[in-house]
Structure 1
Amino acid sequence: MKKNILIIGAGGVGQVVAHKAAQHNDVLGDIHIASRTVEKCHRIIQSILEHKALKRPGILAAHALDATDISATRALIERTRAQIVINVGSAFLNMSILEACLETGAAYIDTAIHEDPDKVCESPPWYANHEWQRKQACKQRGVTAILGAGFDPGVVNAYAALAAERYFDAIESMDIIDVNAGSHGRYFATNFDPEINFREFTGTVWSWQQGQWTPNRMFEVSRQDDLPVVGNQTTYLTGHDELHSLSANLDVPNIRFWMGFGAHYINVFTVLNSLGLLSEKPVKTAEGLEVVPLKLVKAVLPDPASLAPTYEGKTWIGNLMRGSWNGTPREMLLYNICDHADCYRETGSQAISYTAGVPPVAAAMLVADGTWDAHRMVNVEELPPAPFLDLLGRMGLPTRVRLGDADMPLEDALGTDEERRTGS
């Protein structure tokens, strides 16, 4: 049984993680929040107290931390006696935090793939460039490291694993669809860290097609789907973290990621990119100042956490899978719908932060009770999916299943599947 968690990162996702951890501190124990800007941690603690989120009285503490400093991170883990570290800081921090966990034995959980600040869109599979190089070290030291335990990556990986395990003999195609059918009311903003957001879309779009990596340009390929509740949506083929582990761990020849964008976002993005304002490479101004254009754009855009109070509408994320079962073609849709306003009332964050922040807490709870305490490095699809999805449903992220003409809650589908498999 592992207890006491250290949350590194105090943005919108960090706020959700801290709120949800507080709601389950009977399982998780002491809660520590660390960030380079400790004032952000104090604001999250204040929000937890105002929402009366703590399930029972317990330690809730803030810490200043530069997580690029491995020795400082190691010292904080040891000082707080944290046995589980949830990394929801910048994607540039993964490897230094992972190393601190290796040195202390603490379990490590993150929600996104590591990025090198000087490289955009490295060669696939992306995990092999950084995290997977530490697999052997995790195994040798018995350290649990769960990679990509947000929603996408994360929950969608569990959807894939569940489908492969229970509903298909063979999956021919898997299309992961992510749509924000909501509005924040600002002229232009990104829903998470602008620097990370833009870096996803300025490089090559890699997808897994016919059993190999296939390159495209951003906004080159689109599709339309009539989705439950949110209706007809246009999405674009996009490179994304989960493709890089699912293609290695599941025998599926076609795995693609599609994200929804409005015409206004595409127009602004195109202008910024065409002007070179999304470059990660430094430039010099006429005054001799060195500036990274992407960081400047990030500085002038709204803080994603500030969007939450006025956000309206819903998010829709799911897996559309096609394949066969007992020689018969089958199509299955596993999905979640989340409401921005409901998330704000509960945690003070919008639905995009909520969908990213609840899953790592569920993962931490499964590590705490031993269900997911793997003592090695894994991606989410390598772990039992049903306990994770069941727990998420009870924590505010229920899954629905569309199979044939039926659309039902996941728990009903699993019951039907169990009855079908056992003949009861």
Structure 2
Amino acid sequence: MRKNVLIIGAGGVAHVVAHKCAMYNDVLGDICIASRTRQKCDAIIESVLRKNHLRDSSKKLYSREVNALDISSLIHLIKDTESEIVINVGQAYVNMSVLEACIETGAVYMDTAIHEEPDKVCENPPWYANYEWKRKERCREKGITAILGIGFDPGVVNAWCALAQKDYFDTIDTIDILDVNAGSHGKYFATNFDPEINFREFRKVWTWINRKWVLQKVHSVRMDYDFPVVGRLPVYLNGHDELHSLSKNIDANSIRFWMGFGDHYLNVFSVLTNIGLTSEKPVKLDDGREVVPLKVLKALLPDPSSLAPGYTGKTCIGNFIRGTKGHEQREIFIYNICDHAECYREVESQAISYTAGVPPVAAAILAARGDWDVKHMVNVEELDPTPFIELLNTMGLPTEIIETPAPFTPPVIESLESV
């Protein structure tokens, strides 16, 4: 049994992770929340206590201050807190320093997004090969369990791909991952998670088509799809983390990711981009100071965690999978519906943070029990999906499956460039 959890980060996803860890602290043990700003950690603790979510009051829930880019400080923190499981939900820039600290201390490592370097955006695929997979052999040699991308997308959608390959298909032709937010936060413009990371996604669209990487323009390929519960909504071809491991680990001809955007969002994003405010490159002011436009924009936009009160509507994330079973053509839609208002009532969060924050806690429980304590580095689709999905069904993220769903037939996607 593994025990004691260290949560790195104090944003909206960390908020949900802390609540859910507290609800299962009889299994997970003591919980420490650590970030550069300890006050944010303490605010999360206040929320957990306000909702009375600490199941076992004999276990500790406390905060620490740490610079997550400082590996030696992280090593000291892991040892001092006796944490055997580290859930990294800080900015993607800190992934490799947190992973290095886990390799040195023997702690289980997990994150919810792929590593990024501040000055490098949308590197050539497969992205995991640039940083994470370079440490695979060291993890195996030292018996380190490292579970990459264990949020929702990436994360749950990867597990659904593994489930489809295991139980529903003999051969898979296409996997289309669809993510829409049919909710309303009432703000003129806001992102549902860290805007700095969010906008960096919208530079290039690398997608996996006919077993090769294909480059497309951002927001250039649109489909309208009739989703269960939330109805017919537009989605746009997008690049995303999970494609970069699924293309390696799942035997499918094409794997694509689609995200929903409304006209207002696209119009505002287009203006911000055209005037340079989504750029990560520093610019010099008249007084000689340098600023990064994207960081200025992040400071101006609403904090994603502040959107939760009054957020209405639902999200739908699902995998449309086409292939064969027993020589017959088969199509299924595996999906989850999450309600913003219900998330706020339960953990004082909105559904985007909730869907990203619950899965790593389910994974931590499986690691603590030994089911997923595999002693090497894995992406989620390499693990047995059944106990994970069954656990999520009891934790607020139930999986639904529709046979012969509404058809999803994207247009032919021409390649601008391939690798």
Encode CA deviations 1:310-329: one digit per residue, 9 max, x unaligned. Answer: 21000100100000011110
Name the structure 2 match of 1:257. Answer: 257
Name the structure 2 match of 1:197. Answer: 198
Structure 2 CA distance for aligned equivalents of residues 315 and 79 of structure 1: 39
TM-score (normalizing by structure 2) = 0.96
- AA at the equivalent of 2:314: K
1:68 is the counterpart of 2:69:
yes
Structure 1 CA distance for aligned equivalents of residues 161 and 255 of structure 2: 10
User: 3-state SS of the aligned residue for 1:178?
Assistant: strand
Name the structure 1 match of 2:174. Answer: 173
Structure 2 CA distance for aligned equivalents of residues 56 and 106 of structure 1: 23
1:162 is the counterpart of 2:163:
yes
1:15 is the counterpart of 2:15:
yes
User: 3-state SS of the aligned residue for 1:310?
Assistant: coil
- AA at the equivalent of 1:83: E
- The alpha carbon displacement at 1:404 in A equals 3.3
- The alpha carbon displacement at 1:204 in A equals 1.3
**Where does structure 1 lack aligned partners over 5 or more consecutive residues?**
407-424
Q: Any conservation in 1 of the 2:332–2:405 contact (CA below 8 Å)?
A: no
- The alpha carbon displacement at 1:56 in A equals 1.1
Name the structure 2 match of 1:132. Answer: 133
1:387 is the counterpart of 2:387:
yes
- AA at the equivalent of 1:241: D
Encode CA deviations 1:104-138: one digit per residue, 9 max, x unaligned. Answer: 00000100000010011000000000000000000
- AA at the equivalent of 1:69: D
User: 3-state SS of the aligned residue for 2:183?
Assistant: strand
Structure 2 CA distance for aligned equivalents of residues 254 and 395 of structure 1: 31
Structure 2 CA distance for aligned equivalents of residues 75 and 405 of structure 1: 51
Encode CA deviations 1:244-292: one digit per residue, 9 max, x unaligned. Answer: 0000001111000000001011001101111111111100011211010
Structure 1 CA distance for aligned equivalents of residues 34 and 315 of structure 2: 28
Name the structure 2 match of 1:217. Answer: 217
- AA at the equivalent of 1:374: V
- The alpha carbon displacement at 1:405 in A equals 7.2
Name the structure 1 match of 2:338. Answer: 338
Name the structure 1 match of 2:237. Answer: 237
Structure 1 CA distance for aligned equivalents of residues 117 and 43 of structure 2: 29
User: 3-state SS of the aligned residue for 1:241?
Assistant: coil
1:91 is the counterpart of 2:92:
yes
Name the structure 2 match of 1:403. Answer: 403
Structure 2 CA distance for aligned equivalents of residues 244 and 346 of structure 1: 33
Q: Any conservation in 1 of the 2:240–2:257 contact (CA below 8 Å)?
A: yes
User: 3-state SS of the aligned residue for 1:156?
Assistant: helix
Name the structure 2 match of 1:409. Answer: none
Name the structure 1 match of 2:348. Answer: 348
Encode CA deviations 1:325-383: one digit per residue, 9 max, x unaligned. Answer: 11110001100000000001111110000000000000000000000001000000000
Name the structure 2 match of 1:41. Answer: 41
- AA at the equivalent of 1:310: G
- The alpha carbon displacement at 1:62 in A equals 0.4
> Residues 338 and 65 from structure 1, CA distance in 2 versus in 1: closer, same or farther, beyond 3 angstroms?
same
User: 3-state SS of the aligned residue for 1:315?
Assistant: strand
Structure 2 CA distance for aligned equivalents of residues 164 and 222 of structure 1: 27
User: 3-state SS of the aligned residue for 1:319?
Assistant: strand
User: 3-state SS of the aligned residue for 1:54?
Assistant: coil
Structure 2 CA distance for aligned equivalents of residues 374 and 97 of structure 1: 19
1:186 is the counterpart of 2:187:
yes
User: 3-state SS of the aligned residue for 1:17?
Assistant: helix
User: 3-state SS of the aligned residue for 2:307?
Assistant: helix
Name the structure 2 match of 1:78. Answer: 79
Structure 2 CA distance for aligned equivalents of residues 114 and 165 of structure 1: 29
1:269 is the counterpart of 2:252:
no
Name the structure 1 match of 2:288. Answer: 288
Encode CA deviations 1:59-100: one digit per residue, 9 max, x unaligned. Answer: 001000100000000000000000000000000000000000
Moved over 6 A (4+): none
Name the structure 2 match of 1:302. Answer: 302
Structure 2 CA distance for aligned equivalents of residues 300 and 94 of structure 1: 26
Q: How many residues align?
A: 405
Structure 2 CA distance for aligned equivalents of residues 269 and 287 of structure 1: 28
Name the structure 1 match of 2:108. Answer: 107
Q: Any conservation in 1 of the 2:210–2:253 contact (CA below 8 Å)?
A: yes
Q: Any conservation in 1 of the 2:22–2:31 contact (CA below 8 Å)?
A: yes
Name the structure 2 match of 1:123. Answer: 124
Name the structure 1 match of 2:318. Answer: 318
- AA at the equivalent of 2:387: P
Q: Any conservation in 1 of the 2:208–2:254 contact (CA below 8 Å)?
A: yes
Structure 2 CA distance for aligned equivalents of residues 204 and 45 of structure 1: 38
Deviates more, 1:354-363 or 1:55-64: 55-64
1:53 is the counterpart of 2:92:
no
**Where does structure 2 lack aligned partners over 5 or more consecutive residues?**
407-419
